[in-house]
Structure 1
Amino acid sequence: MSLSQSYFERIRAQIAELERRSLPAIERAAEVCAECLLRRGVIHVYDTGHLVSRELINRAGGLAAFSPLQFDLQVTNTNPYREAQGVGAQTTPETVRCIVQAALDRSRVASGDVLIIGSVSGKTPFPVELALQAKGRGVFTIGLTALDYSSKLQSEHASGKRLFEVVDLVIDNAAPYGDAMLSLEGVETAFCPASGIGAAVALWAVVAGIVERMAAAGSPPTILASINRPDGMERYKQTIEYYKQRGY
């Protein structure tokens, strides 16, 4: 069997394991998100730079109601002498708290909304802090992470907690420890990560559940069509206007 064939085999096994582990959480996430949209709430999506936000936002067949949440603090102040001494470039717990607070203050996140937070390791300060502060503002938080991986890592957040320990609902993407699935003699590092595929499958399963529930309630959500069709761009603009009027 070639490694390419092995990859397909491992992906099939991962998706089966994802369904076994996380289907109840996926169904619950769909229920919470559908209820949120029917109340004219918004579903916000934040991730740490991998697939999650890019996969859901402005996708043909996706929901107009998904809103990306991104924030950062860029400081440009280079000095070779200070860098050599290790002065500056410190991210303290107070810095993390203030940046997240400012981001939420300036965002359109509101009480009653849903926030999906994607972090494979779940250990870094910003996703954990974001979950804690969002919950404090009445937002339902969903963490998309890799439990086999994250549970073996030490948190870098001041609380000592990882993402799966602070969110309201956890969806486990079933990625293995270290994320990569394949290895080869003579190649030092494992390769072909699992988390991106697992995240995409889990989230589109959530979308399927949202559409099912909202349609059953007589209020199907606004769904984006492909802009690459002959009338695609005009239809996209009409769809966004329709979403603005309906709120879901």
Structure 2
Amino acid sequence: MDELTRDFSDSPALRYLEAAQQILTQIRETQMPAIEAAARICADSIASGGLVHLFGTGHSRIPVEEIFPRHGSFPGFHPIVELSLTNHTQVVGANGQRQAMYLEKLEGFGEVILRNFVFRAQDSMIVFSNGGVNGVVIDVALSAKRRGLPVIAVLSLAHSLASPVRHSSGKRLG
């Protein structure tokens, strides 16, 4: 059978695309006010000469990298990338997954990371996290708030609510 006329109704690729479309539809139907509010915070920060700081660990570093300005893109976004939490080249051994998984749960480490940067009143922060419960992302969000920055959390709320709170503050993102 020619690939152009093949029936793809039972294709794993089609099922994946349909599931992705359902997620996008759910986001569009439930999150547009939050997305618009987040966009306004970012636009206001940049328009006033501030920066939108971006933070994520592990795979949540991917959107930080995607937003980071490149040639021809819009400036105003500042990635905060802690290599010990994101540069996974080994499963075991030096800089292995065990260390990264330990560090992302370590309370206090987020504040240590943020001490390396200057924040101004017109800045804002976006924290990306799959579940929004690990110590370092909670620390970053709380530390940014203490500095007076508006904080935007991008996460799976369903995953967050299904996960136990791990931070001593009792907080989670979202």
Normalised by the shorter chain, which TM-score bucket? 0.7 to 0.9
State how many pairs are aligned: 146
* Residue 121 of structure 2 corresponds to residue 96 of structure 1: no
Percentage of pairs with the same residue = 28
> Could you tell me whether the CA contact under 8 Å between 2:128 and 2:154 is conserved in 1?
yes
Q: TM-score, normalised by structure 1?
A: 0.54
* Residue 142 of structure 2 corresponds to residue 159 of structure 1: no
What pairs up with 1:198-213 in 2 under 5 angstroms?
Answer: none
> In structure 2, how many angstroms separate the alpha carbons of the residues matched to 1:9 and 1:31?
30
Question: Structure 2: which 5+ runs fail to align?
Answer: 1-9, 86-101
Q: What whole-Å deviation, never above 9, does each CA across 1:75-127 have from its counterpart, x for those lacking one?
A: xxxxxxxxxxxxxxx87x9x632x33332222133233110000011110000
> In structure 1, how many angstroms separate the alpha carbons of the residues matched to 2:71 and 2:83?
28
- Larger RCO (alpha carbons 8 Å, 6+ apart): 1
In the other structure, the counterpart of 1:36 is: 45
What pairs up with 1:97-136 in 2 under 5 angstroms?
Answer: 97=108, 99-136=109-146
> Could you tell me whether the CA contact under 8 Å between 1:57 and 1:67 is conserved in 2?
yes
> Could you tell me whether the CA contact under 8 Å between 2:50 and 2:122 is conserved in 1?
yes
In the other structure, the counterpart of 1:145 is: 155
> In structure 1, how many angstroms separate the alpha carbons of the residues matched to 2:138 and 2:157?
15
Q: TM-score, normalised by structure 2?
A: 0.76
> In structure 2, how many angstroms separate the alpha carbons of the residues matched to 1:6 and 1:141?
35
> RMSD of aligned C-alpha atoms?
2.1
For the structure 1 residues 134 and 7, does the alpha-carbon distance in structure 2 shift closer, same or farther, using more than 3 Å as the test? same
Question: Structure 1: which 5+ runs fail to align?
Answer: 75-89, 165-248
In the TM superposition, what is the alpha-carbon distance from 1:61 to its structure 2 partner? 5.6
Q: What whole-Å deviation, never above 9, does each CA across 1:206-236 have from its counterpart, x for those lacking one?
A: xxxxxxxxxxxxxxxxxxxxxxxxxxxxxxx
> Could you tell me whether the CA contact under 8 Å between 2:51 and 2:123 is conserved in 1?
yes
> In structure 1, how many angstroms separate the alpha carbons of the residues matched to 2:135 and 2:74?
29
> Could you tell me whether the CA contact under 8 Å between 1:112 and 1:138 is conserved in 2?
no
Q: What whole-Å deviation, never above 9, does each CA across 1:30-84 have from its counterpart, x for those lacking one?
A: 111111111101001101222211211134663221110123669xxxxxxxxxx
